[in-house]
Amino acid sequence: MLGILISIFGLGFLILAHEFGHFIVAKVTGMRVEEFSIGFGPYLVSRRMGDTIYGISAVPLGGYVRVTGMHEEEFQARVDAVREEREHRARDPESRLTGSSAIPDEEVIRTPLNRRYYARPVWQRILFIVAGVSMNMVVAFLLMYFVAFQGYFEASTVIDEVVADSPAAEAGIRPGDQILSVAGEEVENWAGAQQTIRLHEGEQVPITIERGGQVQDLQTTLEDREGVGFLGVAPETKRVEPGLFGAFSFAASRTWDMFTVVFVLIGDMFSGDVPVTGDQGLAGPVGIVSISSEAVSSGIFLSLLAFISVQLAILNMIPLLPLDGGHVLFSLLEKVLGRAVSLRTFERVSMVGITLFLLLFLVATTNDLGRLFGGGGPSF
C-alpha cells in the first residue's frame, strides 16, 4: 500500500511539474491564468488566490492550466453570452475535458486585451505551450542527477554468471570473462553489448572475450526469445560515486538515452515489433501505478519516474489537439496564414484528438485488467 501511495504521488508530481511549466510562463508573460488543476472534471478541493483558482479535480488522468482567451472566437462568445444573457454559447473545445471555467464570464470578459492568450505574440504562445514538456525534461534530468549523486551500481562487461544450457554456456563462456566484441562489433559497455545481442536473435555470431589476459574467439547461436536475442549471461556490477560534476554528466547521458529509447519504442509500435495490446501492450493508469509500486520496492522508482517524465514530454508534443504539440502546430499555422484558424476547425480537430485519447485509454486500461486478472488485453 505504501508503494502504491508513493507511486500515485510521484505521478501527480510529474503532472504538477508539467502544468507548472505552463503556469509560470503564463504568469511571466502576463497572460491571465483562470485555473490551475491537477486532474479533470469537478474540483474535489479548490482555492482562489488572486485571479486564479487552484484545485485538485476528480479524474486523475492529467491536469490543465486554463488561460483566458485560448481562441478569440471562444472569448467573443463569452462576451456575447454576457451581453445577451444567453444560456447556450460556443465553448472552448477542450472544455469537454476540463469543464466550463470556474470563473464567471462577467469577470473574465473584463480581462484586458494584453492579458488574453490569443492577443499575445506567437512566440510567447509557443513558449507557453512547450514550457510543460520542457519542465518534464528538466524534472527527468534532476531525478537522474539525484540518483547519480547518491551513488549507483553500473554493469561492466565482465561476466558474473552464466545461465546453464544457454548459448553462452555452449560457447564456453565462464564467469570472470570479459566480453570484447559481439557479432564483430566492439563492446564498450554492457548496454552496448545488450543491444547488439538483442538485434541478432537466432543468428550464429562470433564473440571475442578476454580470459586471464588472453584473448579468445568463440562462436555461438543466440536464442530467439520473443523476437530478441538471448545469450544467457549476467554482468558484474560495481558501485559508482561520481560526485558533483560526474553526476551531471551521468544525468545528461541517461536522460538523452531515455529520450531516444521512447522514439525507438514508438517506431516499433507502428512497425508491429512491439505489441500495443495484450500482456506486453500499453499500460494505463492502473498498470503504471502497479509497475511504479514494484519499482518503489526495488529501489529504482526515481529512475522509472524520470523515464515516465520523458515519455510524458514526448507524447505531449504529438502534433494533435488537445496535446501541446497540436497547439504549437496551430500557432505556426496561424503565423503562416496570417490569421487565426476558425473555432469550428479547432473544435473538430480537438474532437478527433480527444476520441483517440479515450480509445488509447480504453486499450491501455483493458491491458491493465488483463494483466491483473489474466487473459491479456483485447485482440484487434
Is the pLDDT at 120 greater than 90? The verdict is yes
What share of the chain in percent tops pLDDT 90?
A: 40
Contacts of 187 (CB under 8 A, 6+ apart): 157, 179, 180, 181, 193, 196
309-365 tens-digit pLDDT: 998 899 889 888 888 999 999 999 988 988 888 888 888 888 888 888 788 778 777
Specify the pLDDT at position 91. 53
Q: In the CATH scheme, what is the code of domain 152-240?
A: 2.30.42.10
- Summarize the confidence of residues 298-317 as an average pLDDT: 87
Q: Is 9 exposed, middle or buried (0-12, 13-18, 19+ CB in 10 A)?
A: exposed
What share of the chain in percent tops pLDDT 70?
A: 86
Where in the chain do CATH 2.30.42.10 domains reside?
152-240
Is the pLDDT at 190 greater than 80? The verdict is yes
Is the pLDDT at 257 greater than 50? The verdict is yes
Is the pLDDT at 378 greater than 60? The verdict is no
End-to-end distance of the chain based on CA atoms, in angstroms? Answer: 34
Query: Angle 198-253-140 (CA atoms, 0-180°, nearest 5)?
Result: 105
Residue 228 β-bridge partners: 225
- Across the chain, what does the average pLDDT equal? 84
* Unique residue bearing C-alpha cell 519499482: 295
- Summarize the confidence of residues 1-16 as an average pLDDT: 80
- Summarize the confidence of residues 85-101 as an average pLDDT: 57
* Helices of type H across the chain: 2-29, 72-84, 95-98, 105-108, 122-150, 167-171, 190-199, 243-271, 285-298, 301-316, 324-337, 343-373
**How crowded is the C-beta side of 367, counted as CA atoms within 13 Å?**
21
Name the pTM for this structure.
0.74
Asked if 267 and 344 count as a contact pair (C-beta separation under 8 A), the reply is no
191-224 tens-digit pLDDT: 888 889 988 889 999 999 999 999 999 999 999 8
Specify the pLDDT at position 377. 40
Residue 153 β-bridge partners: 239
- Summarize the confidence of residues 300-306 as an average pLDDT: 87
Q: What is the C-alpha separation between 91 and 28, in angstroms, rounded?
A: 26
* Unique residue bearing C-alpha cell 560526485: 243
> 99 versus 67: which is more confidently predicted?
67
